[in-house]
Structure 1
Amino acid sequence: MTQPHIVITGANRGIGREIAGRYRAQGAKVTGTSRDGATGATLDVTNPESVVAFAKSLERQPVDLLLCNAGVYLDKGESIEGYPAQMWAETFAANVTGVFLSIQALLPNLRAARDAKIAIISSTMASDTNAPGGAYIYRSSKAAALNLGRNLAVDLKPEGIAVGIYHPGWVKTDMGGDAAAINVEESAAGLMARFDALSLASTGSFENWDGRPHVF
């Protein structure tokens, strides 16, 4: 039986690295990416040329699961007097445009697989019903990633490609900090269970790492 091919953007640290290791331990073929390629393939999702080159390196290889995990949180701790325009541009380039470009470039690979899936890491901070203030750039970018995923789910469903959007939890990583609620292992295990359960019947869903439906 052919083992699934999993592509994970931002697999050099945190949740991405943990998920990559777990899939490899299961015997899957994993293509993990990072900007410098130090721990796998080179991919800078903010650079269209890098995205095209990465897709070309996977030419004719089916991709069963594309996990769009790469992202940044540049405005952590910013005051309302801050949030410079360049910070908005860099964040959206990574968290939104980079997600779309990665999916767009790998569509031929996803179409070549049977029952292909796309998983987009968003955040509870994308919710418009849970808006405690602050982190305007990150919240806006993750809300945009959620919206992108839900609309892609509609357009890709006729092609048999399911799309899920996920909140990984508040995780003890460089981004989440030491005070976070869960560790990387818990988040990774929960997310992988969500990916396994994703189907055309549930495409477009926004779920927490533990399977609870997320409030928009």
Structure 2
Amino acid sequence: MTVVITGASRGIGAKLAEHYRAQGVDVMGTGRSVTADITLDVTHPSGHSEMAEKLGQTPVELLICNAGVYLDKADDIETGYGADLWAQSFATNVTGVFLSVQALLPHLRRAQNPRIAIISSQMGSSERAPGGSYIYRASKAAALNLGRNLAADLKSEGIAVGIYHPGWVQTDMGGATAEITVDEAVSGLTARFQELCLEKTGCFETWDGRPHPY
């Protein structure tokens, strides 16, 4: 089994890679750091082509689209949310997801039980919109919408797509006061990925298995 994880240099991505390697799974972790298995900036189309080439003819059973940024955490509506932050955030959190899927479709098609897991966030839910963090919320809502549409298009090919809220996690992004540890998030998420199948394709779930409102 081969698993590809974007954004695997730190945080949840790094722990996911560690979890699967401990199980003897062949993991290809990407990141902008040269220490990653595959150096990849998900905003660069050429990098995705290089990643696909490095994988050769290897079937990919699970693609975890984890790479993401939260650039507007401290911005205010009067002076913040610059256009450059919108462009950078959507390039990573949305376009980067699509480019990863697009590049690895041939590898997913070669697998016996191909699955795509997209890490979105409860902050992308249209039903839970308390305000603030406009860029991050909008980009994660777009990632959720992208996942739902990919699920519809890829179901006939036998490729299941799930979208997940990883929890409020104690990482650099989530902060030290977040609700759950990285280990708790990874334990829950990997269980969700294992359960993902065509019957559940298009699901939006929390790390601990609860359906999340769209």
- Superposition TM-score tier, normalisation by shorter sequence: over 0.9
Aligned to 1:160: 158
Q: Distance in 2 between matches of 1:40 and 1:174?
A: 21
Superposition map of 1:1-216 within 5 A: 4-81=1-78, 82-216=80-214
Q: 1:80-123 CA distances to partner (integer Å, 9 max, x unpaired)?
A: 02100010000000000000000000000000111100000000
1:39 Cα deviation (Å)? 2.9
User: Structure 1 regions of 5+ residues with no counterpart?
Assistant: none
Indicate the percent of aligned positions where both proteins have the same amino acid: 64
Q: Aligned to 2:105, what secondary structure does the other structure show?
A: helix
- Root-mean-square deviation (CA), in Å? 0.6
Q: Structure 2-normalised TM-score?
A: 0.98
After TM superposition, what 4+ stretches of structure 1 lie above 4 angstroms from structure 2? none
Q: Aligned to 1:201, what secondary structure does the other structure show?
A: helix
1:37 Cα deviation (Å)? 2.8
Q: Distance in 2 between matches of 1:107 and 1:32?
A: 17
Aligned residues: 213
Q: 1:20-76 CA distances to partner (integer Å, 9 max, x unpaired)?
A: 001000010000011133132111100111111111111211000000000000001
Amino acid at match of 1:112: R
